[in-house]
């Protein structure tokens, strides 16, 4: 293998390593974002359930007031 060919190969390998490291960093960031979104989703689901329970309780109170009145 000639010296220029070896240098080209070294450059390509270095470029691939850099791309690999960038992709690994992106994967770490995406996983962190996914975890944050999952936490936010769970929080919103819980808030939605609480709101639904409150609305259902209000409806039941209104029905009982209607029946007694």
pLDDT digits (tens, 9 = 90+) for 32-69: 999 999 999 999 999 999 999 999 999 999 999 989 86
Find tokens 């259902």 and name the residue: 56
> pLDDT band at residue 4, thresholds of 50, 70 and 90?
confident
Selection from 44, 25, 24 nearest residue 36 by Cα: 44
The pLDDT-based confidence of 1 (bands split at 50, 70, 90) is low
Decide: pTM greater than 0.85.
no
What's the pLDDT score for residue 3? 86
């Amino acid at each position: 293998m000639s010296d220029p060919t070896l240098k080209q190969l070294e450059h390509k390998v270095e470029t691939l390593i850099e791309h690999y490291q960038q992709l690994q960093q992106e994967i770490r960031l995406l996983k962190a974002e996914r975890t944050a979104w999952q936490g936010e989703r769970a929080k919103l689901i819980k808030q939605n359930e609480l709101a639904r329970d409150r609305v259902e309780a209000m409806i039941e109170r209104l029905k009982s007031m209607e029946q007694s009145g």
